Amino acid sequence: MTNIAFIGLGNMGGPMAENLIKAGHSLTVYDLNKDVLDAAVKAGAKSANSAISALTNANVVISMLPNGSIVKSLFTGKNGLINHLSKDVLVIDSSTIAADDARYVAQACKAKGISMIDAPVSGGTAAAQAGTLTFICGGEAEDFDKAKPILDAMGKNIFHAGASGAGQVAKICNNMLLAIHMIGSAEALNMGTRQGLDAGVLSEIMKASSGNNWSLQVYNPFPGVMPNVPSSNDYNGGFMVNLMSKDLGLAQELASKSKSPIPLGSAAGQLFEMHKYNGEGSKDFSSILKMLQE
Amino acid sequence: MTNIAFIGLGNMGGPMAENLIKAGHSLTVYDLNKDVLDAAVKAGAKSANSAISALTNANVVISMLPNGSIVKSLFTGKNGLINHLSKDVLVIDSSTIAADDARYVAQACKAKGISMIDAPVSGGTAAAQAGTLTFICGGEAEDFDKAKPILDAMGKNIFHAGASGAGQVAKICNNMLLAIHMIGSAEALNMGTRQGLDAGVLSEIMKASSGNNWSLQVYNPFPGVMPNVPSSNDYNGGFMVNLMSKDLGLAQELASKSKSPIPLGSAAGQLFEMHKYNGEGSKDFSSILKMLQE
Amino acid sequence: MTNIAFIGLGNMGGPMAENLIKAGHSLTVYDLNKDVLDAAVKAGAKSANSAISALTNANVVISMLPNGSIVKSLFTGKNGLINHLSKDVLVIDSSTIAADDARYVAQACKAKGISMIDAPVSGGTAAAQAGTLTFICGGEAEDFDKAKPILDAMGKNIFHAGASGAGQVAKICNNMLLAIHMIGSAEALNMGTRQGLDAGVLSEIMKASSGNNWSLQVYNPFPGVMPNVPSSNDYNGGFMVNLMSKDLGLAQELASKSKSPIPLGSAAGQLFEMHKYNGEGSKDFSSILKMLQE
Amino acid sequence: MTNIAFIGLGNMGGPMAENLIKAGHSLTVYDLNKDVLDAAVKAGAKSANSAISALTNANVVISMLPNGSIVKSLFTGKNGLINHLSKDVLVIDSSTIAADDARYVAQACKAKGISMIDAPVSGGTAAAQAGTLTFICGGEAEDFDKAKPILDAMGKNIFHAGASGAGQVAKICNNMLLAIHMIGSAEALNMGTRQGLDAGVLSEIMKASSGNNWSLQVYNPFPGVMPNVPSSNDYNGGFMVNLMSKDLGLAQELASKSKSPIPLGSAAGQLFEMHKYNGEGSKDFSSILKMLQE
């Protein structure tokens, strides 16, 4: 049992906190939204009036927030948490933010003697609820080792990608690659079916051949090929175009900063941005197939 | 035991013919190159002086040729094979050619009462030698059923993609998708390592996550991550840039004819063409990683 | 005064024929559509019952047709015109078709001793009516010299691009470049105005700087900057997305055949194809700006 | 005659300062590099030991620096110039930096009651020497009016693009568009010549048609078409690939921040980055043609 302060109870943070409670941890939670606070209390958490007051007795702080500015403001802003944390507390930030922002906060923690790892997740709200998220972590090996038993309560695969920021880098590399093979799979399936092939048959052939990829395996973008995926539900649910577009923006930023050419990653980012402007921002990202169709 | 006329004994056709012989079939072979004819004779084939004379006694004709013009010329040109084939012979063309060319030849065969399937392969010379090719076939179901036992001697996965031409369509869709996720994997690995991550660790993370694809599984483009792939052998061996560039040309042609947008497939085609002009045409296609590096 | 057989009286061919009549030439016209034939007769032409019968007395044949298959069929198909033309007739094909098709027909004419030039036009229906088209010609210099006085009646700029087919090549190179700088201009104007700049001011600055191009000079894609362009008329009139998409298809075909990388030309082609599928096919091509906007 | 403090005497700043001296202004200059300071003194400037001491008696401060971090550090860093400037001094920053950085510095100046305009230039070192630069300015109209007579001594076209930061925005929009039509022109000329056309003839045709753009008019990328451009001098001189790559990085950043899709601008950025990695960073940017050739 660990005393955990959990900041940020959104669509992801909410169920993550519940899984920690189910695993027997003692949670003190904080969020600006009173409704989600109440829900967490119902699930067994104590609620706090502020992020700072949530820290009382905490051995671990977990944050799950929408972007880097908010994370930086929380920890290193005026009266930020780093001024209130004791040195033996471990900070785990599971937000998806720029690697440079993650490194900035980790550095600021370190200067105060506080340990922090970046631990962005992969898997979406369904995995958050099921406790089967993937955590991709950056930071010192010993801090990763401390975090792992906590993360095990929320996820299935827990990776140590490397030094501070490496979790964010690996997450963004992965999601860029996901965007690319999803678009590629959509292009192949659309072209094949326009030539008279059956989408299911073509998918089976490519899965058994060198075109094989995750999109074809578990997330086919062509309606009707798989039963329980967004494409078979008018592209509802799943991972929103808006979020994929955000991640591809982070990928472009990382590429620019590291002078890494990403010709397809960049093209993918532009396609999702145009798709979003087409009014599809809240649909699942596999709806990119619709950009290719009449 | 089937009497097979085999036309075209190149890097792929040669070992395919040998595997048919090993499986107990009786082969009469023809090629313009006397050296490869001699090699086939040593392996147990009879050699013929011309494609037409190779047909004598044949129940099945298999062709493995470099492009559509040559295939059309062989079967439907002046004094083409369709004028010399009896109606009970099955034609199997394993060349990778435009779907429209495959349909044209199949139509011409059909007009003479001859059955034909297109059966392009995936897998490269190593798979041709090991008899583990993938065959992707288009044509009538009953012709596919007749062809399958023959193809089993040369391959491991034998697919029926649909009607005439569908084998070529599925092959090209697959290879376009392969090109896309190979470039995407190269972009992700290059960007990640430039940010300090280890290529092997990052590959493992993406393979276990939604970025997972065939390139990462068995053909990692980053030197040193996998022992027996072209990237670990200075990009020698494997599937040449020139050939991938040819396949992406066929993909572009198919996309244009079927009015199918392929934004990433098209970008991939341009990248491989520029890479080829950079002097890398005879290297393995995973060398596209070098386009991204200093 | 020249006796001219004119085949194809569409949106472009109709006004072109009228300008030839106004210039004093004697026209015999043919089209499958009786309405346009009647209109031409009203304007002073004789009408014929077939393309072949339009040839009687003709010294020059001009064709203005929708695509290469129709042009090839007209001249070199079964009972094609090349079997009915006398050797002193000059053939001028003003259709926009693949350079290879133009060369094929020119070759077939040459084999019969007939001279032919390809002379595709640039400028749209307004220029066709005003007699201010640009003609871009391919063929022998002496044939170009013979054609020029005729073309002068329909156009303002008459270019000799080179040998047979060169007119089509130059036209397609030009239109690909047009598509590219139109998209580029739209991107720059959209980004600039989203940052608070005035589209007109930004256009003036770029026109006076190194961003200067024809789109900004006479065809601004941003609504309201110029009074009499399609963007200020809800993108009606002008040069349809469908036609630009066709031209970019020809560009891609030419690029593939000549192994010429066209990274931006190819990307432009994909964008216009997706834009077309978005339901904008009959709008002016400068409406590509809408792809970039919410 | 105005007393001007000039900070930054690089390849651009040096000749700009000389032109101000020639126009009769009194200059006090500062740069970290003593050689360029000495050269300016020879040309008639006073030299200062620090940026701060250069301010003495100045009515106008002009800065010409390599990037936004340096500009921010100079003005708003620890002991930055804004702490030493009197309120009647006009600051003119001619560096090419992110619009947000320009706005940040302008805001900081304004908070101290100091007026500032951003005034990036277009035209390169030759125009800097000839005093024919284009200045694209952002800021209050009255400050622009005050700056204009000073800028006239260094440039030919002086534009007011809009509010603070608008100069940077317009400059980046323009250079992105330049990159796009340069690549497009290179693609068209390469494809046309591979089809047998003469590069000069094709250039003339496109210049007189809708493909017309600045690259064809004054900066043809095809060697030998124009006498005094980098392409005819092995791509030496002119505007370096490294600098165009930097500007396209700024364009990408601006696009990301303003959620503006730039499909071709983004593709152009990737192409120049790969070209740079190919070892062509210090060549003129029109050398992008070489990416398309064997």
Output the pLDDT for position C254.
Answer: 96
Within 13 A of B105's CA, how many CA atoms are on the CB side?
A: 33
Torsion, CA B258, CA B264, CA B270, CA B276, rounded to 10 = -110
Please state the rounded mean pLDDT for residues C44-62.
96
pLDDT digits (tens, 9 = 90+) for C183-220: 999 999 999 999 999 999 999 999 999 999 999 999 99
Please provide the average confidence, as pLDDT, over all residues in chain B. 96
With b for 16 or more beta-carbon neighbours within 10 A and e for fewer, the A236-255 pattern comes to eebbbbebbbbbbbbbbbbb
Residue D123: the pLDDT is 84
Strand-pair category, B155-162 with B60-63: unpaired
Structure tokens given for D292: 């398309």
Contact across the interface for D174 and C122, Cβ inside 8 Å:
no
**Strand ranges inside D108-190, DSSP E:** 115-118, 121-122, 133-138, 155-162
Question: Rounded to whole angstroms, how far apart are CA atoms C49 and C37?
Answer: 10
The answer to whether the beta carbons of residues B248 and B276 sit under 8 Å apart is no
Please, which chains are in contact with C (at least 3 CB pairs closer than 8 A)? A, B, D
Rounded CA gap, C205 and C212, in Å?
9
Q: Which residues of B are catalytic?
A: 171
Residue A217 has pLDDT above 90, yes or no: yes
Residue-range domains of chain A with CATH: 3-164 (3.40.50.720), 169-292 (1.10.1040.10)
- pLDDT above 90 (res D281): yes
For D224-236, what is each residue's pLDDT tens digit?
999 999 999 999 9
User: B163-186 b/e with 16+ CB inside 10 Å = b?
Assistant: bbbbbbbbbbbbbbbbbbbbbbbb
pLDDT at D211: 96
In tens, the pLDDT along B197-231 reads: 999 999 999 999 999 999 999 999 999 999 999 99
Mean pLDDT of B122-126: 85
pLDDT given for residue B175 in this prediction: 97
Q: How far apart (Å, rounded) are the C-alpha atoms in residues B16 and B31?
A: 14
Which of C191, C202, C208 is opposite residue D258, by nearest beta carbon? Answer: C191
Average pLDDT over residues B123-130: 89
pLDDT tens digit sequence for A218-237:
999 999 999 999 999 999 98
- Whether the predicted pLDDT of B56 surpasses 90: yes
Considering the candidates C72, C146, C171, C283, report the single residue annotated as catalytic.
C171
Structure tokens given for A256:
């620019």
Report the distance separating Cα C139 and Cα C119, nearest Å: 9
Q: Max Cα separation, chain C?
A: 65
Instruction: Tell me whether strands C60-63 and C90-93 are parallel, antiparallel or unpaired.
Output: parallel
B277 CB neighbours in chain C (<8 A) are 261
Task: Say whether A211 and B177 touch across the interface (CB within 8 A).
Answer: yes
Residues near C232 by Cβ (< 8 Å), separated by ≥ 6?
C223, C224, C225, C226
> A224 to chain B, minimum CA–CA distance in Å?
18
C268 interaction partners in chain D (CB closer than 8 Å): 264
**Beta-carbon-side half-sphere exposure of residue D63 (alpha carbons within 13 Å):** 26
- Can you give the pLDDT at residue B78? 92
Lowest mean pLDDT among B123-132, C178-187, D105-114: B123-132
pLDDT tens-digit map of B279-288: 999 999 999 9
Say whether C173 and D206 touch across the interface (CB within 8 A).
Answer: yes
- Distance from the Cα of B88 to chain D's closest Cα (Å) equals 46
Residue of A nearest to C267 (CA): A267
Across D147-169, average pLDDT: 97
Question: Where residue D126 falls among pLDDT bands split at 50, 70, 90?
Answer: confident
Q: Give the pLDDT confidence score for residue D265 in this predicted structure.
A: 98
pLDDT for the residue C126 = 86
pLDDT, residue A164, reads: 97
C53 has pLDDT over 90? yes
Neighbours of B34 (CB within 10 A): 9
Q: What's the burial of D26, exposed, middle or buried (CB within 10 Å: 0-12/13-18/19+)?
A: middle
Question: How many contacts does B have with C, using Cβ atoms within 8 A?
Answer: 36
CA distance C38 to C22: 17
Please state, in angstroms and rounded to a whole number, the distance separating the CA atoms of residues A132 and A153.
Answer: 9
Mutate which: A103, A132, A175, A181, vs B, most B CBs within 10 A: A181
Predicted confidence at residue D139, as pLDDT, reads: 98
pLDDT attached to residue B237: 87
Give, rounded to a whole angstrom, the gap between the first and last alpha carbons of chain A. Answer: 56
Contact C154, C128 (CB under 8 A): yes
Relative orientation angle of helices C13-22 and C34-42, to the nearest 10 degrees: 20
Do the chains contact at C277 and A267, CB–CB below 8 Å?
Answer: no
Catalytic position from the list D72, D171, D276, D283 = D171
| Neighbouring C-beta atoms of residue D142, cutoff 10 Å | 10
CA distance A243 to A251: 12
Q: What is the pLDDT of residue B19?
A: 98
Residues B74, B7: contact at Cβ < 8 Å? yes
Residue pair C80/C235 in contact (Cβ under 8 Å)? The answer is: no
In chain A, residues with a C-beta closer than 8 Å to the C-beta of D252 are: 252, 256
With an 8 Å Cβ cutoff, are D263 and A270 in contact?
yes
Cβ atoms < 10 Å from Cβ of D121:
22
The residue with tokens 């250039």 is D203
pLDDT at A125: 86
Chains adjacent to B (≥3 CB pairs closer than 8 angstroms): A, C, D
Residue pair A177/B192 in contact by the 8 Å Cβ criterion: no
Task: State the count of interchain CB pairs (< 8 A) between A and B.
Answer: 243
The count of CB pairs under 8 A between chains A and D is 37
Query: CA C61, CA C51: separation in Å to the nearest integer?
Result: 10
- Would you state the structure tokens that stand for residue D21, as one six-digit string? 């001296």
- Which amino acid makes up residue B277? Y
Range list of β-strands (E), chain D? 3-7, 26-30, 46-47, 60-63, 90-93, 115-118, 121-122, 133-138, 155-162
Q: Using the predicted structure, report yes or no on whether residue B101 has a pLDDT greater than 90.
A: yes
Arithmetic mean of pLDDT, B39-65: 96
- Over 90: is that where the pLDDT of C123 sits? no
| Distance in angstroms (rounded) separating the CA atoms of residues B1 and C171 | 59
Angle at D156 between CA D155 and CA D162, to 5 degrees: 80
Query: With 90 as the cut, is the pLDDT of residue C71 above it?
Result: yes
Residue C237 has a pLDDT of 87
Question: What mean pLDDT value characterizes chain D?
Answer: 96
Chain B residues near residue C261 by CB distance under 8 angstroms: 270, 273-274, 277
Residue carrying structure tokens 């798989």: A226
Give A19-68 pLDDT, tens digit per residue. Answer: 999 999 999 999 999 999 999 999 999 999 999 999 999 999 999 999 99
Average pLDDT of D41-62?
96
Residues of A in contact with D274 (CB under 8 A): 261, 263
> What is the average pLDDT value for chain A, to the nearest integer?
96
D120: nearest Cα among D59, D169, D185, D189 = D169
What is the predicted pLDDT for the residue at B216? 98
End-to-end Cα spacing for chain D: 56
B277–D267 CB contact, under 8 Å: no
Kindly report the nearest CA distance between residue D76 and chain C, in angstroms: 24
Interface test with C, best of A273, A278, A287 (most C CBs within 10 A): A278
Q: Do C277 and A292 touch (CB under 8 A)?
A: yes
Pick among C272, C275, C278 to test the A interface (most A CBs inside 10 A) = C278
Cβ atoms of A62 and A6 within 8 Å: the answer is yes
Report whether pLDDT(A134) > 90.
yes
Q: For residue A14, give the amino acid letter.
A: G
A274 contact residues in C (CB cutoff 8 A): 274, 291-292
CB under 8 A, 24+ apart: contacts of A74-83? A74/A7, A75/A105, A75/A108, A75/A109, A76/A104, A76/A105, A76/A108, A79/A52, A81/A51, A81/A52, A81/A55, A82/A108, A82/A109, A82/A112, A82/A114, A83/A112
User: Does the beta-carbon distance from D274 to B294 stay under 8 Å?
Assistant: no
What three-state secondary structure class fits B90? Answer: strand
CA distance B71 to B56: 20
The per-residue pLDDT for range D75-115, each reduced to its tens digit, is 999 999 999 999 999 999 999 999 999 999 999 999 999 99
Label each residue of chain A as H, E or C.
Answer: CCEEEEECCCCCHHHHHHHHHHCCCEEEEECCCHHHHHHHHHCCCEECCCHHHHCCCCCEEEECCCCHHHHHHHHHCCCCHHHCCCCCCEEEECCCCCHHHHHHHHHHHHHCCCEEEECCEECHHHHHHHCCEEEEEECCHHHHHHHHHHHHCCEEEEEEEECCCHHHHHHHHHHHHHHHHHHHHHHHHHHHHHCCCCHHHHHHHHHCCCCCEHHHHHCCCCCCCCCCCHHHHCCCCCCEHHHHHHHHHHHHHHHHHCCCCCHHHHHHHHHHHHHHHHHHCCCEHHHHHHHHCC
Which chain A residues contact residue D267 at CB under 8 A? Answer: 263, 266-267
Tens-place pLDDT, residues B181-206: 999 999 999 999 999 999 999 999 99
Split at pLDDT 50, 70, 90, the class of B123 is: confident
Q: Is it the case that residue A174 has pLDDT exceeding 90?
A: yes
Q: What is the pLDDT of residue D292?
A: 97
Give D-chain residues touching B294 at CB under 8 angstroms: 277
- Exposed/middle/buried for residue C294 (C-beta within 10 Å: 0-12, 13-18, 19+): exposed
Instruction: Say if the Cβ atoms of A161 and B205 lie within 8 Å.
Output: yes
Is pLDDT at A264 greater than 90 in this prediction?
Answer: yes
Of B281, B57, B44, B292, nearest in space to B185 by CA = B292
